Structure 1
Amino acid sequence: MNITKGSLETPPAGFPSDIARSERRTVVRYFVLAFLFTITAINYGDRATLGIARSSISADLGLSPVSMGYIFSAFGWAYVLNQVPGGWLLDRYGSIRVYGGSLLAWSLCTLAIAGTGHVPNSWAFPVLFLLWAGLGLVEAPAFPANSRITSSWFPTAERGLATSIFNSAQYVAVAFFAPLMGWVTQRLGWEYIFAMMGLLGVLLAILWLVTMRPPAKHPSVSNAELTYIREGGALVDIDDRTKQTKQKLTGKQIQFMLTDRTLLGVYGGQYCINVILYFFLTWFPSYLHQARGLSLTQTGFAASVPALCGLLGAIIGGAMSDRLLRAGRSASFARKAPFVIGMGLASTLCFCNFVQSPLVIVAIMSLAFFGKGVAAIGWAVISDIAPKEVPGLAAGIFNGIGNVAGIVTPIAIGYIVALTASYNGALLFVAVHCLIAILLYLFVVGKIRRLILPA
């Protein structure tokens, strides 16, 4: 920073001043990121519980596969429908309180499911359906909150890696929680995995609400760190209600959030990348077991390998994006390049249609999921472009549209497999979405910059 009489030259957004760089500063933001990562892993672990325990629950409670299918869908519908209201709650009441309340509520839902084994079988379906829908409803603010908190704690030049790290918790949940919960279910019973995850979430919720504060009010944050992240483009005062001007969104502003070209492109890109995610979460194990002849034990191990590759890809993609920013490349290039490269790699999963070796198939799927991880830069993008007045609402719309894939993908692939008696069309379905996502980021998403709401 150069200071001359009567003038002050400020650094460009995303890069802190010389003063902030030269002073000794704390790194509390990384402890906050570790907290977000842990909570997100619990979030996805809770979502995995019902899938792990499905067979045991069906046998104990007398639930047919059709009934379980309806129960699985309950989460997706409730989760999507509460995205926009959840984003509004974040903007209205602040990230820390809403996130902590959400974590506590979904943990209590998970705990309650542990008790469904004691209800009469005639009540099992409606009780489990409502509890699983409730889980989706109260988990809805979680990812928008992650995005909002990351926006307030991390400068632009570090935000890509930060969002990739908390987003990569989903791969950790698949790779590590699933085998653990399978072991607990086999040794102790399915009720114990819900009790275990629920109690862990309650403890985390209490710890979060007691210890977390915004950057400007956190007792462990030094002035140097606060200056560093503020000058770097972090929305430090995002939850400071004394510095916010309360205003009701006009119809024109709501229309902007739903029709702006850049926002639509980013929303669509998130939908497409989630098609890959939900294929892996729902149909990939069945593909390995039914179409490729792997045993259930082999399927469990094989399914964890792409998840670990996705974790590696997510970290590499975020680091690549931030490094490009620090090297002086534009935000548009730094954010779009990992997405386009990653989705290109993800589209290679359709090559499994031309090979027979299970080992080669797992290798191709691992490459595809690695690419999906590299491309998982969408949360950094929405953090970069969301109007500063409504970051929670923007993240809610983004996550809501993205998770429509969780409703569409399992149903669409189910019909494809039923009509063709093959998974080849299913893999093409996913690969086409990868190519559509690339086109959206190249030709629909405009310049990556903070958008301004119309007056």
Structure 2
Amino acid sequence: MATSGLPTVPAVAFPVRMLATVLTLALGWVFIYLDRTTLYPLLPVIGKEFRLTGTQQGAIASAYFFTYVALQMPSGVLGDRFGLKRVLMAMYALAGLGMLAIGLLARSYPLLLVFVALHAVGAGAYYSTSYGITVSSVTPERRGVSSAIVTVGMASGLALGLSLPPLLYQAMGSWRGPFVLLGFCTLALLPMFWVGVQGRPMSAGPAGSLGRLFRHRGLVLLGIASFFILWSQWVTLTWAPSFLYQERGLNLRQAGLYSAVVALPGVVGALTWGRLSDRLGRRRLLGVLLPFTVASLVGVALLRQPALLALALGGFGLTGALALNPLIVSWAGDMALKRPDLGVGTAIAGINALAVGSSIVAPVVSGRILDITGSLEGAFFLGALCVAVGWAILWAVPEEGVEGRGRAL
């Protein structure tokens, strides 16, 4: 029988307990992203209350991500040593308490920075633990699509975080109310983790080594490429609502809804590209998609008609960092699981620490561009340039564990 030139893979059928684990972790991402993203559409209101400059507003997001990045590698090492599930639950509880503190105790700009960072301490462990559980619990042919399902939680939380807070703010009459509400909702998920995340993730795996990790050329290059690719995400998530509100004439609610346009295509993209990457390879697919990411960011900077802006934001959602995250995670997992001495939690944490490093500088650099030029257009152009740099670096990253999969079926 003649066969097509593309490799084939078996149908992706999940055992019930494995599916429960993946779906529970996806739900956890809904609230991590919802909690985090709630800040962005409310930045104009918060900035007005505390009389903040653009740079100071950007520093709020930078304070979050500085702490978030600092927790990446320690949480991965701790997860490999003491159990990924145990570390995930303990730090998730801290993230919920941080949200409550923002809403109840942040009465000055310095306190706001402190409590935003406290939430980031808890949230910073979720990436390495959730994806460490995912990639170590599923077979290679399910790795891309499983990571995609977990990433759908990110996109869903992003959509809610950009669209829901303005509505809650209007209903509650205070920007603090949404943080308190979401803090309680975040804490309410802990029993679901205890019940839903089962099996192998409960046991401690091999202890990871940061020294071995940073001697792995492929993982380091993938992390550096991801640093530049994810720059565009931090610019868009942090500043798109303010950009649309202040420079494109939308009201606060419209700005949040338009920014949330990124999320739905992100869900479609994550599921589609994750599944395809299991067949075609991670690097090949990223090489095709990232030029469209660049074009979308240039469109956001240049276009003024609302319908075209929505189209550009949707294009960014479909081909941007959020939709492509399953490919990067799976690629890291492919390499890490070839080297058990690395520790999968440590490897994923290290990659994400390098990648999310751009989140520390991108928001404040974008705010500085706003202060100097009076516009955020330059910030989106810089984001497009960074994606192009990341695209070029990816071609030097070796690809393992994908080529040839299923060719003999």
Distance in structure 2 (CA, Å) of the matches to 1:203 and 1:112: 16
Q: Partner residue of 1:391?
A: 344
2:188 partner SS? helix
Distance in structure 1 (CA, Å) of the matches to 2:236 and 2:57: 19
Aligned partner letter, 2:52: P
Aligned partner letter, 1:346: T
User: Which is higher, the Rg of structure 1 or of structure 2?
Assistant: 1
2:397 partner SS? coil
Mark the CA change 1:156 to 1:142 in structure 2 (over 3 Å): closer, same or farther.
same
Aligned partner letter, 1:358: P
Distance in structure 2 (CA, Å) of the matches to 1:56 and 1:172: 24
> Deviation at 1:293?
3.0
Q: Partner residue of 1:100?
A: 89
Q: Partner residue of 1:183?
A: 167
Q: Partner residue of 1:380?
A: 330
> Deviation at 1:91?
0.9
Q: Partner residue of 2:185?
A: 200
Distance in structure 1 (CA, Å) of the matches to 2:112 and 2:365: 25
Deviations 1:234-283 (A, max 9, x none): xxxx7645xx666x84xxxx444224321122102221221121121112
> Deviation at 1:348?
0.6
366, 389, 397: which is aligned to 1:445?
Answer: 397
Mark the CA change 1:97 to 1:272 in structure 2 (over 3 Å): closer, same or farther.
same
Q: How does 1:262-273 map to 2 (within 5 A)?
A: 262-273=218-229
Q: How does 1:302-341 map to 2 (within 5 A)?
A: 302-322=258-278, 324=279, 333-341=280-288
Deviations 1:266-308 (A, max 9, x none): 1022212211211211122233233333333332222122222
Distance in structure 2 (CA, Å) of the matches to 1:397 and 1:41: 23
Distance in structure 2 (CA, Å) of the matches to 1:354 and 1:70: 26
Mark the CA change 1:213 to 1:283 in structure 2 (over 3 Å): closer, same or farther.
same
Deviations 1:378-437 (A, max 9, x none): 111112111323211111111111111112212222333444444443332112222222
Q: Partner residue of 1:158?
A: 142
Distance in structure 2 (CA, Å) of the matches to 1:162 and 1:82: 24
Q: Partner residue of 1:225?
A: none
After TM superposition, the score normalised by the length of structure 1 is 0.77
Deviations 1:44-102 (A, max 9, x none): 1111233344455566xx52315655443321111111211111111111111111111
Mark the CA change 1:203 to 1:418 in structure 2 (over 3 Å): closer, same or farther.
closer
Structure 1 unaligned blocks of 5 or more: 1-13, 216-237, 325-332, 451-455
Aligned partner letter, 2:348: A
Distance in structure 2 (CA, Å) of the matches to 1:419 and 1:56: 22
Mark the CA change 1:64 to 1:357 in structure 2 (over 3 Å): closer, same or farther.
closer
Distance in structure 2 (CA, Å) of the matches to 1:378 and 1:131: 30
Distance in structure 2 (CA, Å) of the matches to 1:245 and 1:179: 41
Aligned partner letter, 2:103: A
1:78 equivalent to 2:67? Answer yes
User: Is the CA contact (8 Å cut-off) linking 2:34 and 2:160 kept in structure 1?
Assistant: no
Q: Which has the higher contact order (CA 8 A, sep 6+)?
A: 2
1:64 equivalent to 2:51? Answer yes
Mark the CA change 1:113 to 1:419 in structure 2 (over 3 Å): closer, same or farther.
closer
Distance in structure 1 (CA, Å) of the matches to 2:315 and 2:44: 30
User: Is the CA contact (8 Å cut-off) linking 2:37 and 2:158 kept in structure 1?
Assistant: yes
User: Is the CA contact (8 Å cut-off) linking 2:81 and 2:206 kept in structure 1?
Assistant: no
36, 41, 47: which is aligned to 1:47?
Answer: 36
User: Is the CA contact (8 Å cut-off) linking 2:58 and 2:364 kept in structure 1?
Assistant: no
> Deviation at 1:310?
1.8
1:131 partner SS? helix
Bigger shift: 159-168 or 286-295? 286-295
User: Is the CA contact (8 Å cut-off) linking 1:340 and 1:375 kept in structure 2?
Assistant: no
Percent of residue pairs bearing the same amino acid type: 23
1:145 equivalent to 2:142? Answer no
Q: Partner residue of 2:4?
A: none
Distance in structure 1 (CA, Å) of the matches to 2:286 and 2:112: 38
Q: Partner residue of 2:214?
A: 258
Equivalent pairs counted in the alignment come to: 385
After TM superposition, the score normalised by the length of structure 2 is 0.85
Distance in structure 2 (CA, Å) of the matches to 1:296 and 1:436: 33
Q: Partner residue of 2:3?
A: none
User: Is the CA contact (8 Å cut-off) linking 2:159 and 2:264 kept in structure 1?
Assistant: yes
412, 415, 421: which is aligned to 2:365?
Answer: 412
Structure 2 unaligned blocks of 5 or more: 1-7, 403-409
Aligned partner letter, 2:177: Y
> Deviation at 1:352?
4.8
Distance in structure 1 (CA, Å) of the matches to 2:64 and 2:14: 43
Mark the CA change 1:153 to 1:183 in structure 2 (over 3 Å): closer, same or farther.
same
Mark the CA change 1:78 to 1:25 in structure 2 (over 3 Å): closer, same or farther.
closer
1:199 partner SS? helix
Distance in structure 2 (CA, Å) of the matches to 1:427 and 1:50: 20
2:281 partner SS? helix
